[in-house]
Amino acid sequence: MRDYNTLDYDYPPYRPPNEAGSALIRASRGCPWNRCLFCTMYKSLKFQPKSVEDVKNEIDKAAKIYGNAKTIFIADSDSLVMKNIEDIIKHIKLRFPDAERITSYARAKTLTKLGSERLKKIKKAGLTRVHVGLESGDKKTLEFLQKGATPEEMINGGKATKDAGLDLSFYILIGAGGKKRLKEHAIESAKVCNKANPDFIRLRTLVVQHGSLLEEKMKSGQYKPTTPIEKLQEVKIFLEYLEVEKCELASDHLTNYIWVGNNIVYRGVYGILPDDKKEMLEIINKTLEFLAITDDEILDATILYERGMIHSL
């Protein structure tokens, strides 16, 4: 049994769903941007890179906690801004010699600033993948959400990552454009992905969380959330415009689920693009056809969250 208290381990509060089985190393606390309207993750924290010595001590503890872990995730939100991140990654490799994957969150702006040459050095140290919150490829949606990056920076950061030989994972927020920019958000997000050609695309449905700045915009009428059917239509448009090669697309989060009554009728789509595109579109079309004729209440995570039936997102 893992005893984090005995080891006084600085356990990071967040990680991507597909890093659930990874050893978690906290190299920094918080987010250097921390202004996105939809995010509540680090609002109570001031961004603070930890010293290399402190992180190395944490890595030593992590080796005792996780044993011979095969996958490692570096937290918090943008640790690649740290000047000595290579030293930290090298120590991870030292203490986890059999690690097959070492990953980190990174802002597109950070990746653009680092450039492919510095990212090559970070890869040589041992990093294999970066998780990037694209959220949207639509300029107006990004500006509204206060993402702090443009579509061009998303593309440039993605290309620098790929040029360095690192795997690139983009996260798309379904519903980010609201009713007003549903189509623009879907199409422009696909266009950014087409130009950056990520290795992975993860779909996350936006849930307006209590206490977020986006909730204030929603209450004032500046943001109108989409219905479950509109969210599914958005995913369909996104897929239709998506032209990427050898890319894994997954809806690996419960926020993507759609319920009819008490039954889950849609769990998202998964496949390798472009080979599985037709099959994914068929799943969406069949679900839309069913939703159009059902007499039962159609629910998604947004509705369940508002009703207090989902608490953890």
* Same domain flag for 223 and 89: no
* Same domain flag for 301 and 184: yes
Give 252-307 pLDDT, tens digit per residue. 899 999 999 999 999 999 999 999 999 999 999 999 999 999 999 999 999 999 99
For the chain, report the end-to-end CA distance as a whole number of angstroms: 26
> For the chain, what percent of residues have pLDDT higher than 70?
98
Give the mean pLDDT of the chain.
95
* Same domain flag for 93 and 157: no
- What is d(CA 106, CA 2) in angstroms, rounded to the nearest whole number? 28
Give 20-63 pLDDT, tens digit per residue. 999 999 999 999 999 999 999 998 889 999 999 999 999 999 99
Tell me what pLDDT residue 311 has. 81
> Which CATH number fits the domain that encloses residue 87?
3.30.750
Range(s) of the domain holding residue 42: 8-105
Tell me what pLDDT residue 7 has. 61
* Same domain flag for 265 and 140: yes
How far from 141 is each of 65, 80, 133, 202, 308, CA to CA, in Å?
41, 26, 14, 18, 28
What single letter denotes the amino acid at residue 165?
G
* Same domain flag for 172 and 298: yes
* Same domain flag for 162 and 269: yes
Q: pTM of the prediction?
A: 0.94
* Same domain flag for 91 and 189: no
Structural domain includes residue 216: yes
For 202-239, b/e burial (b = at least 16 CB within 10 A) is: bbbbbbbeeebbbbebbeeeebebbebeebbbbbbbbb
Tell me what pLDDT residue 298 has. 98
| pLDDT average, residue stretch 176-199 | 98
Structural domain includes residue 126: no
Structural domain includes residue 2: no
Structural domain includes residue 113: no
Tell me what pLDDT residue 4 has. 45
Number of domains in the chain: 2
Tell me what pLDDT residue 44 has. 85
Of 105, 124, 146, the last residue of a domain is 105
| pLDDT average, residue stretch 88-105 | 97
* Same domain flag for 203 and 289: yes
Structural domain includes residue 142: yes
Give 131-152 pLDDT, tens digit per residue. 999 999 999 999 999 999 999 9
Q: Tell me if 157 sits within 8 A of 134, measured CB to CB.
A: no
